[in-house]
Structure 1
Amino acid sequence: MHFLTVPGLASSGPQHWQTIWEKQYPQLFSRVQQVNWDWPVKEEWVSQLQKQISELEEPTILIAHSLGCITVAHWAQEHSSELIKGALLVAPADAELSKRLNFVVNFTPIPVWSFPFESIVVASTNDIYASISRSKVFASNWGSEFINIGKKGHINAVSGLEDWQEGKEILGQLGSFERLPQEATK
């Protein structure tokens, strides 16, 4: 099983759990690379995700954060791949309602139909980019399991999650694949 991380705005820095997981398991993880992390344009972000998915050679789970979750939703509306077996969608950013996301281009409206693969939406009760109720709506629309992890902010580096063991356990619930190895390769 392969894991493809789909970061949100500004990518995921060195203290973000996505980056930490990539460093722990370099043989299992790769990251979608966007041309412009700071001025997101839906067509460019979805196109880049599709490009990297089209190059996959093994079954893959998408691990998205924030605006990366919305990118996955748009990708699933426009494309498909038999190799995508599931998605972990963490702290989806509400591009429709968040005034903090008024510079993102064409990410609205957010797709409202079910994904053709298993997925889990993980949300926090005090995320400044999406209310818990909106995150539940995303999960319902996308046919995703919904997990409320309490007060964890935007579930990013600022949240102080570091290796985010709870996230690894949730990832282990997704699909019928082996959990991440306990011993990380350095």
Structure 2
Amino acid sequence: MTRTSKPTIVIVPGMRDHVEDHWQTILAEQLRHAGRTVHIVPPPARNRLSRDAHVANVVEVMAQITGPVVIVAHSAGVMTTVQWAQWHDADVRGALLATPPDFETPLPDGYPTPDELATYGWTPVPRKPLPFPSIVAVSSNDPLASLDRVAELARGWESRLVELGPVGHLNPASGHGPWFQAEELVEALADGWCHAGPRPAS
């Protein structure tokens, strides 16, 4: 299958503000330098813990785009993407879903409690197959989710699971800035090879 049009890249961060050395920020600059169109979904101006507010921002960004997209989500941005996909439609060629948190198990101190997450609409976490190809990237020592729980979510979403090894939550707090594999996975999704393995000979 030949893909002729380059999809727009839609980056869905978690609940953080802009972080200069976060891999999503770095990836956006790399992709723009390579001639890609990139949109970054902003955090809600109010109700920062509200699922509906986060999903509404994805809806607003998607409305600005004509043609196919590839979604690149991290952390709570994965949950935003999955929630958005239950009720909204777009021409999504694929999604890279990196280190989703386990919102159904108590998180470490300083993070929202299960009651708060339920009150603001994040749980129960949807487990229906996603309507587009997806890759879930999982860390073996993520403080916000065990590998087994993320693998369970990936099975429900019918996502390809890619194990990254011990990379924490894949963020600067875990000692990670650039994530060099991300661009490769994005290109695999953009080209239609959602398994991100060796591409068939043309």
Output the TM-score relative to the length of structure 2.
0.81
- The aligned counterpart of 1:154 is 169
- Work out whether residues 61 and 87 of structure 1, in 8 Å CA contact, stay in contact via their aligned partners in 2: yes
Given the alignment, which residue of 20, 27, 31 partners 1:21? Answer: 27
Q: Structure 1 unaligned runs (5+)?
A: 179-186
Whether 1:144 and 2:159 are equivalent positions in the alignment is yes
Query: Residues 101 and 78 (structure 1 numbering): CA distance in 2 closer, same or farther, change over 3 Å?
Result: same
- The aligned counterpart of 2:196 is none
* AA matched with 1:54: A
Aligned length: 177
Which stretch of the first structure deviates more once superposed, 11-20 or 83-92?
11-20
- The aligned counterpart of 2:112 is 101
Query: Residues 37 and 138 (structure 1 numbering): CA distance in 2 closer, same or farther, change over 3 Å?
Result: farther
- The aligned counterpart of 2:142 is 127
* AA matched with 2:112: L
Per-residue deviation, 1:159: 3.2
Which stretch of the first structure deviates more once superposed, 12-21 or 154-163?
154-163
Greater Rg over alpha carbons, structure: 2
* AA matched with 1:56: I
Query: Residues 12 and 98 (structure 1 numbering): CA distance in 2 closer, same or farther, change over 3 Å?
Result: farther
- The aligned counterpart of 2:76 is 67
Q: Structure 2 unaligned runs (5+)?
A: 1-6, 194-202
- The aligned counterpart of 1:58 is 67
How far apart in 1 are the matches of 2:169 and 2:47? 17
Query: Residues 162 and 38 (structure 1 numbering): CA distance in 2 closer, same or farther, change over 3 Å?
Result: farther
Q: Cα RMSD between the aligned structures? A: 2.0
Query: Residues 25 and 168 (structure 1 numbering): CA distance in 2 closer, same or farther, change over 3 Å?
Result: closer
Task: Among all aligned residue pairs of Structure 1 and Structure 2, give the percentage whose two residues are the same amino acid.
Answer: 31
Per-residue deviation, 1:160: 3.4
